[in-house]
Amino acid sequence: QLFFHLQRERSFPEHRARFYAAEIASALGYLHSINIVYRDLKPENILLDSLGHVVLTDFGLCKEGIASSDTTATFCGTPEYLAPEVIKKQPYDNTVDWWCLGAVLYEMLYGLPPFYCRDVAEMYENILHKPLVLRPGISLTAWAILEELLEKDRQSRLGAREDFLEIQKHPFFESLSWTDLVQKKIPPPFNPNVVGPDDIGNFDSVFTEEMVPYSVCVSSDYSIVNASVLEADDAFLGFSYAPPSEDLFS
């Protein structure tokens, strides 16, 4: 998780935050191009692969079938990263993802989400009404993109007119080649140094020390309880990797 590294380092240098923000924006731009709004961008949902490239995960709150001119109104997301229009339960569009990108970029640069407060109700008030506070230590272009992404009026927010194209054109990303970025020709600013598939050095011990539950298809004495081998295979349909049935019970 990006969250793991951000917690450990508190914040990232601007060049590193820029790289991650660009790869995240590319992922969001792709989702928007196929009429999907992501809606739950946060560091916990951003993984790094073995080379250090961004991998977006957890699509449970995605809304499908939302073209650029469409809106939806479901209240969902994570409190720290909710856009004002979501909190106000107003119709919203894919610009909620650009707000979330701004919130994550702010957190990468400063160490906390932009309107963070332990009291959720007060945090919602901050998101709705408090001016954005930007501290010294970042470039003028970083300052500008944060202000434009974290614009409370969604119709004036960066990305409201040309979606991902507006993000690409922003001066904050001027030093990047988007073509090279998409083709993964730009070396990531951080290498996780993964030594093999069983390397758990980049995972928080909170997760690695958890007990591993048995399969839903296997009882504590390893007997098959409620599913045939065929049903066990079906349980994993739609996942990017589904193990052969013999591997489930070996």
pLDDT at 247: 46
Task: Say what the pTM is.
Answer: 0.81
Measuring CA to CA, which residue among 101, 2, 109, 7 is closest to residue 45?
Answer: 2
Spatial contact of 15 and 42, defined as CB atoms under 8 Å apart: no
pLDDT in tens, 169-225: 999 999 999 999 999 999 999 988 777 776 666 666 777 777 776 555 555 554 444
Instruction: Locate the domains of the chain by residue range.
Output: 2-182, 212-250
> CB atoms < 10 A from the CB of 108, how many?
24
pLDDT at 69 over 90: no
- Of all residues in the chain, the percent with pLDDT exceeding 70 is 81
Give the burial class of 3: count Cβ atoms within 10 A of its Cβ; 0-12 exposed, 13-18 middle, 19 or more buried: middle
Give the DSSP letter string of 128-156: HHSPPP--SSS-HHHHHHHHHHT-SSGGG
Sign, CA torsion 148/152/154/156? negative
Task: Pick the catalytic residue from 40, 93, 97, 163.
Answer: 40
Q: 2-182 belongs to which CATH class?
A: mainly alpha
If pLDDT is split at 50, 70 and 90, which confidence band does 249 have? very low
40 catalytic residue (yes or no): yes
Average pLDDT, the chain: 87
